[in-house]
Chains A and B, each alone.
Chain A
Amino acid sequence: MSATVPPTGLWCARGNKADLLLRGPRVVDPAAGIDAVADVLVQKGKVAAVGAGLVAPEGVRVIDAAGMLALPGFVDLHTHLRTPGREDEEDLSTGTAAAAAGGYVAVFGMANTDPVTDTAAVFEALARRAAAEATVPVGFYAAVSKGLAGRELTEMHELAAAGVVGFSDDGMPITSAYLLRRALQYARPTGRFVAVHAEDRTLSGTGVMHEGEVSAQLGLGGVPSIAESTEVGRDVEIAGYEEARLHVCHVSTAAALAHVVRAKEAGVPVTAEVTPHHLTCTHELLRELDPNTKMNPPLREESDRRALVDALAGGQIDCVATDHAPHALQEKEVPLEEAPFGTIGLETAFAVLHERLVVPGALPLAALVERMSQAPARIARITVPSLAAGEQANLCLVDPRARWTVDRHTLHSRSQNSFLWGATLGARVLLTVAAGRVAHDAVA
């Protein structure tokens, strides 16, 4: 990366700097190599001290955090904040409130808005709104191609100067290998990565769920695993040839994962993300025909799920990303076949992964924290959240013993299309401090 690369922008509304003493949580900070019970003192929005028996200075709120987890705050490389254009589904205020409630301290919105985030003018207007409305720092992608049409590149250098985190036509695959190659070449001097939604639409067609035994039994059109893996194989080859940063969004199949792993072993600068739903659910969930279980890429088979979990634990998949995709209630209250793809995920990501992977022992807690917080921050090239003394406070406090139900009383998103709707989960985020400010506070 050259010294002239403009930094990744993050924007949020101003607020008071936090002054807090967390008394006695288990502090887990993989980057700092901490996993110990300690007090955490936050003063003027910074981590002032971490250690035993800290004394709260005058006026500092003390939170009894015994038995709780103090973690570096999470970073989401893949959210849909639906602004501009579909503020009835989510806006920057509700989206970041949801992020804060999930323990996130930075989220990045995809460019498939209306209008598409494909010019510096649209991007800067969005950043201004974020600076007024967002409770958690927000950054944004810009599109790879104008209007996501897959024909002409956006003004990537001007967009990078404005602070985009990366470029993505997410929601749409980049059909043309030629265009992807040019995008990777053209974006390279900006230091930005290109994030791909890898899907061969000629293979996925009108499919609505994973092609396999369940789709055969339900009579639903199938999205074969090869629709993803053939495209991922193509994309990582092009990235390797161009030695350009490629980020593979929402890997869902073992076959696509194998392409990523091979490319990494060959030294290709490729990174990959996986969603909480692909890590915890399979196509069996579709049997209820609940439109909230319809997402793209679709929920796959148990063998895929296990491969994804193992790769996340082993670091072959770099990070967790939610692909938080809000949809209006009336759009999801239709027959499954007619419903749009997507589930919300910001508020449930840590809880569901903790409950279904960490508690049963499939994924170490420190690995989950690293993949949700520090790894994505490094990909985005933003300040890496940490609980080390002297850092800006970007942290969350989680009660691992909590039981809570996913419903309209607990969620902050404007939409309710959660694949976990009605489920009871553990590990509730009680407090989020983002960029030194209290963004979420549910401490009793």
Chain B
Amino acid sequence: MADVQAAEATPILAVRNLRTYFHQDEGVVRAVDGASLEVHAGRTLGIVGESGCGKSVTARSILRIVERPGRIEGGSILLQRENGSGTTETIDLTSLDPTGREMRAIRGRDIALVFQEPMTSLSAYYTVSNQIVEAIRQHGRLDKRAARQRAIDLLTMVGIPRPERRIDEYPFQLSGGLRQRVMIAMALAAEPRILIADEPTTALDVTTQAQILDLLRRLQRERGLALILITHDMGVIAEMADEVVVMYLGRVVERGPVDQIFHAPKHPYTRALLRSIPSILATPRDRLATVSGSIPHPYDRPPGCPFHPRCSDAIAGRCDRATPAMTTAPDRGAVSCFLYSEAEAVTA
């Protein structure tokens, strides 16, 4: 019941038709090319796709930390935010100066990021304490001692044993799982409302993966976080997400509730992705299905629907000419494919 309510309410973060391009000597890479998604408080949005599909760039665009030569070319990123007087306001993050005070106040405070590589996401030259306390004091007014106590509390919360000792260690003295927990603790330092976890478990072993996912789920429940979980792992999506967005070459090709994506996938790409999950029911020597072909070179984007060269259902003369628009399906999902609707996208 709460689920339905949350879905009806205005999203805490809405990305509309986002386009982030990288201008290079060789040409323009359209890393994100018209992506739209919505995130609701207390819910998990899974963004899934192969590497290079624009998942991470979307996350960085939301935080406005896309590096040169990347630039947001269009679209809007609408953040619901409480202002001082208790009413909510909507800010378009694309209108802010990426290095300005306002945007920096949002980073960490409203939207936090946990990154895919726990080995290199922390600096080896400072202790855990130094880095967490910095994060705490960045957005709060605690003195050093109080900040340290808060850091220890945070480490306890993310399940680090003996935090009062661990806090004075250097990141390289911690295991990968502990480091990722430190990263999560640091991300939560300023009590953000939205947490973007970019492949949070990719570099970890399977047991640790499960622990970190459990931790994220628990924290989300306890704090009503809106979680954006970026992954290429359909298994993680199935376990964690409420809603799913499937991305391909910078475009959202399908979105919908997790059950629907898994049980009634519409887009041929989504179906291909699902076929490529190894199944426990498979008999030995069964060939694992793969998505045929490979992702095109970023400078050589196919015209029309970006997936048509690899699509088994491509309609000749149609899919290679025009880009399908995102059309809402009757059962709350949306898909961008000519198999379902003749509508063409306005852009591209």
A binds B: no
Which residue numbers of B lie inside 8 Å of A, CB to CB?
none
